[in-house]
């Protein structure tokens, strides 16, 4: 008698949930998002783009997601960006792994900052619908940056 292969398991909740930060998830509706406390929105430079700013969010360990920038295209969340201290790397990584699973790619290299070579890491999560990119540190700054973007979102020219 031949052994049967194990049954395929359904994807975990991290595989099926849209990427995001906390309860702000790629694809969510702008109208619902605007009802949150501390949210300020305005039209972007491109048609159908709305730019929203939000209050700092705690990441753990006394660190915060700062300069939160939410971009909506056609009323749906298409990108979240934020910065944090480079010292928050472990907390940010743990938060992203908890919310969205393991990164699909990690690249370690170096970058130049004020004439010094510094270690640099880029972590990427992909799920076929959206992408998370964490860069530590961000070029020219001693902060880390995170961008969570809906794949194919047309935001490149809208830098407002």
Span 48-107, pLDDT tens digits:
999 999 999 999 999 999 999 999 999 999 999 999 999 999 999 999 998 899 999 999
pLDDT at position 11 over 50: no
CA 109 – CA 139 distance, rounded (Å): 12
pLDDT at position 12 over 60: no
Element (H, E) at 144: strand 143-150
Tokens of 20: 């995001």
pLDDT at position 117 over 90: no
| Sequence ranges of the domains in the chain | 18-150
DSSP character at residue 157: T
- 48 to 25, 45, 71, 158: CA distances (angstroms): 19, 9, 10, 11
Verdict on whether the full-model pTM lies above 0.85: no
Quick one: pLDDT at residue 154? 63
Asked if residue 54 lies in contact with residue 36, where contact means CB atoms within 8 angstroms, the answer is yes
DSSP character at residue 77: E
pLDDT in tens, 123-149: 999 988 899 999 999 866 779 999 999
């Amino acid at each position: 008698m031949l052994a049967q292969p194990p049954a395929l398991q359904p994807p975990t909740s991290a595989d099926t949930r849209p990427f995001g930060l906390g309860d702000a998830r790629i694809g969510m509706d702008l109208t619902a998002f605007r009802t949150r406390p501390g949210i300020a929105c305005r039209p972007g430079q491109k048609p159908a783009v709305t730019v929203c700013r939000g209050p700092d969010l705690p990441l753990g360990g006394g660190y915060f997601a700062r300069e939160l920038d939410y971009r909506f295209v056609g009323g749906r969340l298409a990108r979240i960006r934020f910065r944090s201290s480079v010292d928050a790397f472990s907390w940010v990584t743990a938060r992203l792994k908890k919310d969205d699973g393991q990164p699909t790619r990690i690249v370690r290299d170096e970058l130049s900052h004020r004439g010094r070579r510094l270690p640099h890491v880029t972590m990427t999560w992909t799920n076929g619908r959206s992408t998370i990119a964490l860069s530590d540190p961000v070029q020219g700054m001693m902060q880390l940056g995170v961008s969570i973007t809906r794949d194919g979102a047309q935001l490149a020219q809208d830098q407002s």
